[in-house]
Amino acid sequence: MKTFSSYGPVSKKSNYYVPRTNLLNQARENLLGKNPEEGGHYITVWASRQCGKSWLLRELFFEMRDSRQYLIAHIDLQHLTKVDDSVRAINCIMKMVSEQIHIDFPEINVLEQFESLFKSNYLPMPLILILDEFDALKEEVITDIIGTFRNIHNLRQKDGKSAFEREYRLHGVALIGVRSVLGLENKSGSPFNVQKSLQIPYLTYEEVNEMYHDYERESGQKVNQDVIDRVFYVTNGQPGLVSWFGELLTERYNKDKTKAIDMDLFKYVYADALSVLPNNNTINIISKATSDEYRNVILNLFKTSGKTVFKFEDPAFNYLYMHGVISFERDGEFRYAKFPCQFVQEKLFDRFAREIYSESGKILPDPFIDIDPIINESAINVRNLMKLYQSYFVENREYIIGKAPRRSDNKIFEATYHFNLYAWLNSFLDRKKCYISPEFPTGNGKIDLLIKHKNIHIYGLELKSFTDLAEMKKSIEQAAYYGKSLGLSVISLVIFFNTKITDELRERFEKDYANQETGVKVELIMIEAV
């Protein structure tokens, strides 16, 4: 029986997978050319990690390796990551090519000899060359190799003969990687400006759905549709995470295969995935996001006061995008940076909250305070809960403000207020049998905290930072619709102000707003965070 696998390229015989036929056809057509007589293209195959780049080109290699028209070699370059001499790296590569196509190549002594290895006196037929983990090579090595490929491409274009009769027989090249292949980190500019680009996207909802239904058909065990839908929601179709959750749900946590895999099991698995289960993909993402070089970029993306314009040419955005830390969304003519999926954003949010506010300070301003009007066996009064938090903030202001990371203009990152509230709620409600989880419905600019009380009642807190009155009115309306989507009759809109809030302002705005269209009541709560 097949299994879900998130450990390297999947096996079609042993693992659940989606064929991605359109991408495979596109890669084949690029490498062979629409008209193979004219030659194929030199392409870069790129995506963030664990998206199936290697698998796709490996499938093409398996398909073509018995061809009578082409030679094909698929080489992994990860082991050459520390080689800083181009000639040495090239000799290693060509030795591996030789072993796959059974043609002997002489060792080269200088870079200028490299292109001669692709001439007809060595290659009896056109060669398709696939170089995996190409960006693992040193930048200078990358530059030298793709510079040679570019020159071969130009020389080939000047040759009026058929691709099968030309002097240079390097028919098609696929360079698989995540960043340097594109030349964006090459300070002297990319010399490889003749390539086509093939991006490997995340899985679609239909593809994720099909994978889990394949498991149903083979195992006979039902996977409830709301579980499949939730897997897609929290992963956004990121192939490595989709398969990882598949593995957890169908193997590691699947104790009774006579029962359907339901949301109770998913929630248990998801909680463990967030807190106790290691995953190489997310470990890598967190290490990139929390590094000193990119930390402030990520903190800025958690702001609720506006979106961040995405520019692929920006080195920070390029690096974070290629490593799966961020993505982008289209809105008319604009492109905005966002987090790639709920799971990644939640992991990062929790990481920053715990890192910045590892110690919560004095949780209760008065340990003898009667908390029954705030939380009891039957309910939580969110407005009273936030009044308690306001008192906590005032009591611990020096600590909270002092720990808050600051932007280059010395202002506090907006999200740190939300991190602090989340950390405080976790500390205060931990012994009250309440579970707090952040939700990020849009991937940027929207943070909601859901409090589950006694595994019965759900309370929704939508967090915002004040910008202006018009935006606040818009937030009230949006909160009502979000409350309706959660099936709530009441939702709390918690707005942080970095100015003093007068009694007059509280009396004027801090009240309940009934939304007629949704039937949801929005209770607006103002937090003075200065």
- Is 448 in the same domain as 320? yes
489 domain residue, yes or no: yes
- Is 86 in the same domain as 211? no
The domain boundary, picked from 199, 230, 265, lies at: 199
- Is 171 in the same domain as 249? no
Which residues, other chains included, contact 181 with Cβ-Cβ below 8 Å and sequence gap of 6+? 44, 46, 134, 135, 142, 146, 175, 192
CB-count burial class (<10 Å; 0-12, 13-18, 19+) for 175: buried
Residue 440 tokens read as 């990020």
Mean pLDDT for 188-211 is: 77
β-pairing verdict for 42-46 and 196-199? parallel
**Closest C-alpha to 303, from 486, 435, 451, 498:** 498
- Is 119 in the same domain as 228? no
Residue 172's pLDDT band, with cuts at 50, 70 and 90, is very high
Asked whether the predicted pLDDT for residue 186 surpasses 90, the reply is: no
**pLDDT value of residue 366:** 84
227 domain residue, yes or no: yes
The domain boundary, picked from 150, 174, 199, lies at: 199
12 domain residue, yes or no: no
CB-count burial class (<10 Å; 0-12, 13-18, 19+) for 450: middle
How many angstroms separate the CA atoms of 346 and 309, rounded? 21
10 domain residue, yes or no: no
221 domain residue, yes or no: yes
Buried b (16+ CB within 10 A) or exposed e, 222-238: ebbeebbebbbbbbbbb
- Is 292 in the same domain as 272? no
- Is 455 in the same domain as 361? yes
**pLDDT value of residue 179:** 55
**Closest C-alpha to 199, from 319, 43, 339:** 43
- Is 309 in the same domain as 448? yes
Which residues, other chains included, contact 405 with Cβ-Cβ below 8 Å and sequence gap of 6+? 295, 296, 299, 356, 412, 413, 416
β-pairing verdict for 334-338 and 327-331? antiparallel
The domain boundary, picked from 169, 199, 229, lies at: 199
How many angstroms separate the CA atoms of 136 and 152, rounded? 23
What is the number of structural domains in the chain? 3
193: containing domain: 21-199
User: What order of strands is seen across the sheet that includes strand 512-514?
Assistant: 434-439, 447-453, 457-465, 490-497, 521-528, 512-514
- Is 416 in the same domain as 353? yes
- Is 123 in the same domain as 271? no
**pLDDT value of residue 458:** 92
CA 519 from centre of chain: 36
Mean pLDDT for 3-11 is: 86
**pLDDT value of residue 71:** 96
Give counts: helices (H), strands (E), the chain.
17, 13
Asked whether the predicted pLDDT for residue 387 surpasses 50, the reply is: yes
**pLDDT value of residue 195:** 57
**pLDDT value of residue 190:** 45
* Digit-coded pLDDT (tens) for 80-101: 999 999 999 999 999 999 999 9
Amino acid at 338: K
Residue 90 tokens read as 């090239």
- Is 443 in the same domain as 425? yes
CATH number assigned to the domain comprising residue 51: 3.40.50.300
How many angstroms separate the CA atoms of 293 and 308, rounded? 18
- Is 42 in the same domain as 158? yes
131: left (phi over 0), alpha (psi -120 to 50) or beta: beta
1 domain residue, yes or no: no
29 domain residue, yes or no: yes
Residue 503 tokens read as 């009694």
* Digit-coded pLDDT (tens) for 201-229: 999 999 999 999 999 999 999 999 999 99
11 domain residue, yes or no: no
- Is 222 in the same domain as 124? no
CATH number assigned to the domain comprising residue 263: 1.10.8
Beta strand residue intervals within 385-508, DSSP E: 434-439, 447-453, 457-465, 490-497
Asked whether the predicted pLDDT for residue 279 surpasses 70, the reply is: yes
Q: Where are the alpha helices (DSSP H) in 438-497?
A: 469-485
